[in-house]
Chain A
Amino acid sequence: MDLWHLLFTLALICANDSLSAGDDLLQWPQISKCRSPEMETFSCFWTAGNLYNLTVPRILQLLYKKSNEEDWKECPDYVTSGQNSCYFNASYTSVWTPYCVQLVSKNEVYDKKCFSVDEIVLPDPPVHLNWTLLNTSQTGIHGDIQVRWDPPPTADVRKGWITLEYELQYKEVNETKWKELKPRLSTMVPLYSLKTARDYEIRIRSRQRTSEKFGEFSEILYVSFSQLGIGCDHCTEEVEFPWFLVLVFGVCGLAVTVISVMLSKQPRLKMLIFPPVPVPKIKGIDPDLLKKGKLDEVNSILACHDNYKTQLYSDDLWVEFIELDIEDPDEKNRASDTDRLLSEDHLKSHSSLGAKDDDSGRASCCEPDIPETDFSASDTCDATSDSDQFKKAAEKEDLLCLDRQDNDESLPSLANTDLQHQHRNTQSENSHPWAPFGNSVESPHLSVHTQVSNQNSLASTDFYAQVSDITPAGRVVLSPGQKSKLGRAQREGCTEQNFTMDNTYFCEADVKKCIVVTSHEENEPHVQEQGYNEDAYFTTESLTTTVANLGASTAAPPSSEMPVADYTSIHIVQSPQGLVLNATALPVPDKEFNVSCGYVSTDQLNKIMP
């Protein structure tokens, strides 16, 4: 039963839809519009609908009522306005009175509408359109015309009962879109710049001034210039703007201007238009030197520069004022270590080294009291200094990071050859790592391969030895780092420091510190890091290849010390005597090895670290 109900309702709905929709089906009669052309009469029009087809033909009636009346009256005139219309003449029209009309048949009301006459005014179209020629252009291609028309005859504009506005539209004959002019009150309008070769169509419509709806369009007026014999059929078409030519000539002109400016002898003009690109200029240095790559000379020149020095050392003020104590016993030890390392007699050099140390850190690098043989910076100032000396100085300067005095034991350590200043850190116990000097970037790096021999007092061997000094003979004086101090410092420093891994060189001291710390904490024997010169730094190559394992050698370190692994090989490229220290493999240090800024590159570190 429910199913039948459902089907029934569905059928009803469908029928309803079909009944309400569709033009082909039932359509009720309705009043389409009511219109007054001149505000004196009005007419109402309706559509009969297709009721007649379905039912007995019915007679439609239009009833009207004024607002102040009660009764509905029938339409007075069904004929004048055509079929399905009702015409109210002037006697039936009250302009400002509200009307209601309704379409009825017998007693059934189909539609109803209420309005007042002044609101339904739609004027008739203007009549008697014509045009006259005003003038033509000199070439005869364009012309101006004046269009005139008369207001619709039904509208009484003369007495002013109704005021009309007119809108004119025109177009070329073969166009589709009409051009519109603004509505205006006058009955004439000029049209400018029409093409005489074309024909035009004009139409006008009107509306009451204060309303918005327009009436119907007038008949179309055809404008043809050829009628007057002024058409210019042989005239060429309007040439469009020659963009291509403009572009070509513009480019050529610009190129000519540029070339002329460049070739001109006027430097001012040239500078104005083509300002010179600033090139790097360093006083006293010939840029050609830089280009050719003669870094020795460049370095020497730069080393002389006070400004340069101060700039470099700005962060490390203490460095400037370091004075090495000749009498320092560590130096003697160093010397001895160096001797051991190099198997040479460096006593001679030691003294000179000692003397040399006096000069380190002095602002003036060209002081005469420095013995020539010394590896003072003053030597490097000398333009005539040989490259050897310079190299040695460079080697020495690599030791900036070195802290010789801290180390009792000398271990080979890597030295960065890029340094051009002698900074000896012998007496400084400041565990202050500093970033390598900027000038290190260009010069080739020394990778010092150090060979840690087990002969050395391994108990006191550092993880790596710093090259504390370079003898005039070209030997590297290595000094061990200070373990205990450094150990402490390392622990402190390492945890505090925030190591950043990047591909620059790291201060090996920092690296080692951390290694020591972590290893110490974790008590792993293979992380070999004893006190080391915090300022020691290694080149990447050295770290990479020659990390040596001092595990065996550090079998008997002091309790506070870590077994040291030698891992570095120092290459002093520019030195005639390269220090090659064989390195034993260093086990990979602890994972928590963090690298701070220094000269240890990440590659090195990665190899150190697991």
Chain B
Amino acid sequence: MAAAPARAAGRADAVAALALLWLLVCAPGNAGCHPLTVADLFDRVIRHSGRIHSLSTALYAELEKHFPPRDNELGRPARKCHTSGMLTPNGKEYAQKIPREELTHVILKLLQAWKEPLSHFNQHIEHHQELPDDSLSKAKQISNMVHELKTGVEKVTEKARFFLQVELLFLFPIQMQSMGIISNSLNGMASSEGTGLSISNEANMMSDSDFIHCFRRDSNKVQSYLKILKCRIMPENSC
């Protein structure tokens, strides 16, 4: 019971320490200081993911037009995406509940899982003569943007890790274990890439419009998770 006020006091100290650190690092007049805040970076990344989602929606519509879907409406849910096996939070509550590191990890894992299948898809779709150039350019754009988004999220998390780690250090010592999980999982991306390869083999067996439908769904996931993540990292929002 005494621990609770102590914890509260510790929290206030942490905030003060953060503010001090922030001022030291980014004092006005410091030429090397980048004016972009973490919030700005997050906004950029979120906008980027929103654009990806819009592009994939448009591409899906075009593919549906050119390759009309099977008449069997019920056949739709049978479509299996190669990322269906991944455990991802299914709703806002879960996204808010899981640790932020895990949320970050999920985001990065998703982006990684789509990197290679998209490049394969690009090569495959170029052979489609009947598709308009617009669709082909969209597909190319999507695969580039996914790569950029992954880089961006990594950078943001790098920057936010400062907050995260600090926060964890000062505020949530219990969570340090998860820090280890994060670092392990982030550093262990190479190992997961192995699974990504096997996953991409599944992806190749799908039809083009199903493939893009899967990606569209996952891009929506990424966007939503990023928003929640931003909300959770930035202390001013009451997430």
B220, A210: Cβ atoms closer than 8 Å: yes
* A158 nearest CB neighbor, chain B only: B237
Contact partners of B230 in chain A: CB under 8 A:
160
A95, B90: Cβ atoms closer than 8 Å: yes
* A159 nearest CB neighbor, chain B only: B231
The smallest beta-carbon distance between A112 and chain B, in angstroms, is 6
Q: Which of B208-239 contact A (CB under 8 A)?
A: 217-218, 220-221, 224, 227-228, 230-231, 237, 239
Binds B, one of A96-104, A379-387, A499-507: A96-104
A210 to B224, CA, bound (A): 12
A210, B93: Cβ atoms closer than 8 Å: no
A96, B53: Cβ atoms closer than 8 Å: no
B53, A100: Cβ atoms closer than 8 Å: no
A93 at the interface (CB under 8 A from B): yes
B127 at the interface (CB under 8 A from A): no
Partner of A210, one of B57, B91, B218, B228: B57
Interface centre among B57, B79, B220, B221 (most CB of A within 10 A): B220
| Also in contact, A159 and B227, with CB within 8 A (given A40-B92, A94-B90, A210-B57) | yes
| Also in contact, A160 and B228, with CB within 8 A (given A96-B90, A116-B217, A118-B220) | yes
A209 at the interface (CB under 8 A from B): yes
The smallest beta-carbon distance between B62 and chain A, in angstroms, is 14
- Count residues on chain B whose CB falls below 8 Å from chain A CBs: 28
Please, what's the 1-or-0 string for A387-413, where 1 marks a CB less than 8 Å from any CB in chain B?
000000000000000000000000000
A320 to B53, CA, bound (A): 96
A159, B228: Cβ atoms closer than 8 Å: yes
The total of Cβ contacts below 8 Å across the A-B interface reads: 65
A96, B92: Cβ atoms closer than 8 Å: no
Binds A, one of B30-38, B70-78, B145-153: B70-78
* A119 nearest CB neighbor, chain B only: B217
Please, what's the 1-or-0 string for A43-82, where 1 marks a CB less than 8 Å from any CB in chain B?
0000000000000000000000001100000000000000
A94 to B87, CA, bound (A): 12
B99 at the interface (CB under 8 A from A): no
The smallest beta-carbon distance between B120 and chain A, in angstroms, is 23
A113 to B72, CA, bound (A): 11
A118 to B53, CA, bound (A): 12
B46 at the interface (CB under 8 A from A): yes
Partner of A96, one of B93, B217, B237: B217
A99 to B76, CA, bound (A): 10
A90 at the interface (CB under 8 A from B): yes
Contact partners of A160 in chain B: CB under 8 A:
46, 224, 227-228, 230-231
B74, A114: Cβ atoms closer than 8 Å: yes
The smallest beta-carbon distance between A94 and chain B, in angstroms, is 4
A40 to B96, CA, bound (A): 13
Contact partners of A100 in chain B: CB under 8 A:
74, 77
Contact partners of A351 in chain B: CB under 8 A:
none
Q: Which of A132-183 contact B (CB under 8 A)?
A: 156, 158-161, 163
Contact partners of A209 in chain B: CB under 8 A:
50
* B58 nearest CB neighbor, chain A only: A210
A94, B50: Cβ atoms closer than 8 Å: no
A90, B237: Cβ atoms closer than 8 Å: no
Partner of A114, one of B76, B218, B231: B76
| Also in contact, A210 and B239, with CB within 8 A (given A96-B221, A100-B77, A114-B77) | no
Contact partners of B221 in chain A: CB under 8 A:
96
Contact partners of A94 in chain B: CB under 8 A:
90-91
A96, B50: Cβ atoms closer than 8 Å: no
A93 to B77, CA, bound (A): 16
B228, A98: Cβ atoms closer than 8 Å: no
The smallest beta-carbon distance between A43 and chain B, in angstroms, is 16
Contact partners of B76 in chain A: CB under 8 A:
98, 114
Contact partners of B78 in chain A: CB under 8 A:
67
A93, B91: Cβ atoms closer than 8 Å: yes
* A211 nearest CB neighbor, chain B only: B57
The smallest beta-carbon distance between B10 and chain A, in angstroms, is 26
The smallest beta-carbon distance between A66 and chain B, in angstroms, is 9
Please, what's the 1-or-0 string for B83-117, where 1 marks a CB less than 8 Å from any CB in chain A?
01000101111000000000000000000000000
Q: Give 23 CB contacts A-B under 8 Å.
A: A39-B92, A40-B93, A67-B77, A67-B78, A68-B84, A90-B92, A94-B91, A95-B90, A95-B91, A95-B224, A98-B76, A100-B74, A100-B77, A114-B77, A116-B77, A156-B92, A159-B228, A159-B239, A160-B224, A160-B230, A161-B92, A209-B50, A210-B54
**Residues in chain A within 8 A of chain B (CB atoms):** 39-40, 67-68, 90, 93-100, 112-114, 116, 118, 156, 158-161, 163, 209-210
Since A161-B227, A163-B50, A210-B57 are in contact, a sample of 4 more A-B pairs with Cβ atoms closer than 8 Å, ordered by chain A residue number, is: A96-B90, A98-B76, A98-B77, A98-B79
